[in-house]
Amino acid sequence: MSLGAHLIEFRKRLLIAAAGLLVGMIVAFIITDPVMVFLTTPISVLDSAEAQLMVTTVTGSFDLIMRMAMSIGLIISAPVWLWQAWAFVMPGLTRREIRYTVGFLAAAIPLFFAGAVTAVLLAPNVIRVMSSLLPEGTINYFEAKQYYDFILKFVLAIGVGFVIPVFLVALNIAGVLTGRAILKGWRAAVLVATLFAAITTPAMDAFSMLLLAGVLVVLYFAAALLTVVLDKIKSRRDPLRLTEPLT
């Protein structure tokens, strides 16, 4: 295809993806209320006399609903815009690259949602620890927009953290890193996992930090062992293919 044909194809895919996003936002606008109630459940660990959500501006409620509709619509329409992106780049990929991409997505998507579920389970404990810093009898007034932004970013951060091991396997398949090199870097991986958990959870919430760090370390070692097995399979097929591990 010429450059002009590529641009026309890109515009077509972009318009379809935008239409899918618009439909997703309309559906999301309808179901925003139950989603907002669900995201508010972490506050349920506190007594209603200890914590309340509030809106500080006249248009705050409308702005919050539109932001939530945009976020939820993006998730709902993900099959549409992901397929359009895939359909645009697929003709330029080899059959082997297509197979690897499908395998990557098949592993990354469940891991991301596993991370999101973990974040939802940890959120009540995080809210409880952060709210316990104030003196007894003090009421926590959570600004609604900031609260929902915190929950969404918290879920997104941990979800992405769960997907990192898949990137390590992808780098191994691409020949950038060997399994031995990944396994050799376990000390740095443990440190990074601990720092990531410490940043995403409150400093006083040691339980949530250790739990999250432990899960990330287990995923790292699972990815490292998988890459070692893949390297052995590669070496049997082509003994000269694997050289010294990258460091």
For 58-79, what is each residue's pLDDT tens digit? 888 888 888 888 888 887 887 8
pLDDT at 247: 46
Q: Give the confidence band of 44 by pLDDT, cuts at 50, 70, 90.
A: low
CB 216 within 8 Å of CB 197: yes
The yes-or-no verdict on residue 49 having pLDDT over 80 is: no
CB 52 within 8 Å of CB 97: no
pLDDT at 30: 86
pTM: 0.70
CB 224 within 8 Å of CB 186: yes
Please tell me which residue, 92 or 40, carries the higher pLDDT value.
40
- Which of 89, 125, 123, 129 is closest to 105 using CA atoms? 89
The yes-or-no verdict on residue 246 having pLDDT over 50 is: no
pLDDT at 15: 92
Interval 118-174: pLDDT, tens: 888 888 877 777 777 666 666 777 788 888 888 888 888 888 888 888 888 888 877
Q: Tell me which range, 65-74, 82-91, 214-223, is most confidently predicted by mean pLDDT.
A: 214-223
The yes-or-no verdict on residue 241 having pLDDT over 60 is: no
Helix (H, G, I), strand (E, B) or coil at 153: helix
